[in-house]
Amino acid sequence: MSTPLAELHMHIEGSLEPELIFALAERNKVELPYRDLDDLRGRYEFSDLQSFLDLYFANMAVLRTEQDFADLARAYFARAAAGGVGHAEIFFNPQAHTARGVPLRAVLDGLGDAVRASAAEFGLTSDLIVAVLRDRPAEEGMAMLDELLGLDVPVLGIGLDSAEVGNPPSLFEDVFARARANGLRAVAHAGEEGPPEYIRQALDVLKVERVDHGVRCLEDAELVARLVEEQIPLTVCPLSNVRLRVVDTLADHPLRTMLDAGLLVTVNSDDPAYFGGYVDDNFARLQAELGLTAEERETLARNSIRASFASQERKAALLGGAGR
Ligand SMILES: Nc1ncnc2[nH]cnc12
Ligand SMILES: [Zn+2]
């Protein structure tokens, strides 16, 4: 049996499938601007990160109650477990919900329910990473963090996402310092569309332990050497990179170059409902289009467990193939 995967870079709102969008719209009496499922599916054609984010945020309008968030996360965990995921560290975007009047408590209680249920039902362990919207003011992110810390709910880490270019990590120095002082593990999206300098800032200013995406590090040999030396995990998302035009095709993806350079690379789905598949779909396509070998898949699986924030006991269980 192959080693289970740890999925370290996925946005739970990005697992909102078209069918669930319609079901939740009906349940919550939200009027959708789409004629039907095909009309919605026809819009999953992106020219860059922003064109995706526009649809991603618009579709969140159907997420209103604790139950909605529990249903959303449960569906992801069921699908991920079926695809070989044994552990997941998932992002959620509070600001995108509280701005629409959804209480932060409802988001966290719904996600928390699903986290507990999936451990019991699927043996899939998981943790939550609160993601700060980098295209919103840092003060708003700080206020959200304060509210979250006041709720005393189990959140593992802090991340930084949304439109990258023009919104450098350095803007969020104070938010990340406060989060780290309160015990949160730090990660940030950097080097997806943004330059290598943003990866340096994520490391030096935000003091992140992992970099989400990071593919543009390859433009800077000194940075690559540092990432290799420090064994900083990079949570790469191949299908996302193709769909958001970071790379032209999967055959052109630099994943193998990164592995061969000695970078600590992992493979993840990012927003599986939008980018053509879950993490096992990413591996299947990499095998078909990049010639990814079984040995490389095994390296990537072991990397994902090593790069996770799971306990040493949990890591040992996953590496031992026990899964539970
Ligand atoms: N790939 C991505 N990059 C930045 N922000 C995101 N939010 C959801 N997916 C994202
Ligand atoms: Zn992402």
Q: Is 162 in the pocket of ligand 1 (CB under 6 A)?
A: yes
Give me the residues of the chain with pLDDT under 70, please: 1, 321-324
Rounded Cα distance between 91 and 131, Å, is 6
- Answer yes or no: is 314 within a domain: no
234, 265 in Cβ contact below 8 A? Answer: yes
- Answer yes or no: is 215 within a domain: yes
The 10 Å Cβ neighbour count of residue 128 is: 22
- Answer yes or no: is 169 within a domain: yes
Here the tokens at position 230 are 């420090």
109 is in an annotated binding site: no
Rounded Cα distance between 216 and 236, Å, is 11
Q: What are phi and psi of 89, to 5 degrees?
A: -120, 110
Which of 270, 274, 275, 282 to mutate to test ligand 1, by most ligand atoms within 8 A of the CB atom?
A: 270
9 is in an annotated binding site: yes
* Strand 233-236 to 264-267 pairing: parallel
Q: If you measure from the C-alpha of residue 244 to the centroid of ligand 1, how many angstroms do you get, rounded to a whole number?
A: 10
Number of the ligand closest to the Cα of 241: 1
Single pTM value for the model: 0.98
- At residue 79's C-alpha, the angle toward residues 41 and 127, to 5°, is 110
Number of H helices, E strands in the chain: 16, 8
The 10 Å Cβ neighbour count of residue 18 is: 19
Assign residue 116 the CATH number of its domain: 3.20.20.140
Rounded Cα distance between 166 and 271, Å, is 22
Q: How far is CA 262 from CA 79, 286, 299, 319, in A?
A: 31, 19, 11, 20
Query: What are the pLDDT digits (tens) for 23-45?
Result: 999 999 999 999 999 999 999 99
Q: Is 271 in the pocket of ligand 1 (CB under 6 A)?
A: yes
- Answer yes or no: is 321 within a domain: no
The pLDDT, as a whole number, for residue 152 is 80
- At residue 47's C-alpha, the angle toward residues 42 and 52, to 5°, is 65
Which of 7, 9, 10, 11 to mutate to test ligand 1, by most ligand atoms within 8 A of the CB atom?
A: 11
Q: How far is CA 38 from CA 19, 42, 86, 299, in A?
A: 10, 6, 33, 38
Q: How many domains does the chain have?
A: 1
Q: Is 192 in the pocket of ligand 1 (CB under 6 A)?
A: yes
Q: Which residues pair with 270 in a beta bridge?
A: 10
- Answer yes or no: is 286 within a domain: yes
Domain that holds residue 9: 5-307
- Answer yes or no: is 9 within a domain: yes
First CA to last CA distance, the chain? 14
ipTM (interface pTM):
0.98
- Answer yes or no: is 312 within a domain: no
Q: Which helix (H) or strand (E) element contains residue 213?
A: strand 210-213
The alpha carbon of 186 is separated from its chain's Cα centroid by a whole number of angstroms, namely 13
Q: If you measure from the C-alpha of residue 306 to the centroid of ligand 1, how many angstroms do you get, rounded to a whole number?
A: 23
3-state secondary structure of 159: strand
Active site residue 192: yes
Find all residues with CB under 8 Å of 111, minimum gap 6, and list them.
12, 69, 70, 73, 90, 92, 128
270 is in an annotated binding site: yes
AA letter at 315: K
250, 290 in Cβ contact below 8 A? Answer: yes
- Answer yes or no: is 161 within a domain: yes
